[in-house]
Amino acid sequence: MSLAGITAAVTLDRSGPFALQGAQAAAGLEHWAEEAGVRLVVADDRGSRAAAVEAYATWVQQGVELLLGPYSSGLVRAVAPAVCGAGRLLWNHGGSADDLARPGLVSLPAPASTYFVGAVEEAAARRVDRLLVVQGRGPFARAVADGAVARASAAGLRAVEVAAGTLSAADVAGAAVLAAGRFEADVALVRRVRSWPRAPALLAAVAAGLPAFGEQLGDAAEGVLGPAQWWPSPRRPRVGPSGADFAARIRRRGGAEPSYVTAQAAAAGHLAHAAHLLDLTAAEVRRWTTSTLLGAFALDAGWRQVGHQVTTVRWRDGHMVPLSPRRQRP
């Protein structure tokens, strides 16, 4: 194996529906590539499946050493057959829908079905017995919603999946409302709920795990819970820098607080590079148990991420803070 001239390639949305997350992921990968001495090629997929598939098919033919996945479960789902079907590893940082798992797809994020575990446990601890899960479009949103409903049922709570357009002020009074949609849809829903006379007993949104959520909503974000794939830790992982060191370096470069999208992209770069240097086969990667700045890494026999878990955060005074773990009710 040659260690000279390692190239990594990735498509990210720079001008389409996931441009915000694309820019955040690019920041993490660019920082990693600069520190690792890896040549990074970033192509704008514009949120288009066809554009992403074409780019990865070309890189497979060219023998690019490291193939990092696009952002969004839909795009990962589209490109995985071309990459993994060719016997190559695709290092997935940007897709968490449960149905993505397949041989060769190395996912770092925790599965979408686990996103609202903390929010459901908080609802149970507050003795809120009615949950309204507002499901957005697509398999990712469905996985988040189905996971929340299953968790609620296990905790003895009544949970109903509803469409955003059907939600009314009377519905949310005294209920826990969990928004499982795209960033813009979640922000719009929270803004609408905040305008109603009676507040829900608990409000959570997938989008609340991103700094931009508070930037757009201001005071309306206060108290909202959300899932974050990453919370910076000073603990040194086996691969790459600690989360705290990574956050400090990103702040020095651009001044902005890195989001979990930035961190999980950088973690994927570090992990892919380490596997390449160790010359690990796909079978060895599947059995690999290690850690990155994102947290623990382990895959089960079906290539589903089982080592890493999301952190539930709450917006307080304009900042995200980790929600203290609650003991589950019997």
Predicted local confidence at residue 329, as pLDDT: 35
**Statement to judge: residues 76 and 214 lie in one domain:** no
Instruction: Evaluate whether residue 73 is within a structural domain.
Output: yes
**Alpha carbon distances (Å) from 48 to 4, 51, 55, 92, 193:** 33, 5, 11, 17, 32
**Statement to judge: residues 124 and 243 lie in one domain:** no
**Statement to judge: residues 172 and 256 lie in one domain:** no
**Statement to judge: residues 190 and 316 lie in one domain:** yes
Question: Mean pLDDT for each 10-residue chunk of the chain (330 residues)?
Answer: 76 94 95 96 97 98 98 97 97 96 97 96 94 93 95 93 92 96 95 95 96 95 96 96 95 83 97 98 98 97 96 96 61
Rounded Cα distance between 182 and 212, Å, is 13
Calculate the dihedral angle through the C-alpha atoms of 57, 59, 60, 65, rounding to the nearest 10 degrees: -160
Instruction: Evaluate whether residue 1 is within a structural domain.
Output: no
Predicted local confidence at residue 253, as pLDDT: 82
**Statement to judge: residues 31 and 176 lie in one domain:** no
Rounded Cα distance between 309 and 9, Å, is 27
**Statement to judge: residues 275 and 126 lie in one domain:** no
Q: Which domain holds residue 146?
A: 113-228+312-322
**Statement to judge: residues 207 and 274 lie in one domain:** no
**Statement to judge: residues 208 and 257 lie in one domain:** no
Which CATH number do you get for residue 120? 3.40.50.2300
For residues 202 and 122, is the Cβ–Cβ distance under 8 A?
A: yes
**Statement to judge: residues 148 and 190 lie in one domain:** yes
**Statement to judge: residues 244 and 134 lie in one domain:** no
Instruction: Evaluate whether residue 211 is within a structural domain.
Output: yes
Instruction: Evaluate whether residue 328 is within a structural domain.
Output: no
Residues sharing a CB contact under 8 Å with residue 182, sequence separation 6 or more, in sequence order:
17, 136, 137, 141, 207
N residues, the chain: 330
Predicted local confidence at residue 4, as pLDDT: 54
**Statement to judge: residues 54 and 192 lie in one domain:** no
Tokens linked to 66 = 């490291």
Question: pTM to 2 decimals?
Answer: 0.89
Q: Count up the domains in the chain and report the number.
A: 2
Predicted local confidence at residue 296, as pLDDT: 97
Instruction: Evaluate whether residue 26 is within a structural domain.
Output: yes
Instruction: Evaluate whether residue 74 is within a structural domain.
Output: yes
**Statement to judge: residues 130 and 224 lie in one domain:** yes
Instruction: Evaluate whether residue 330 is within a structural domain.
Output: no
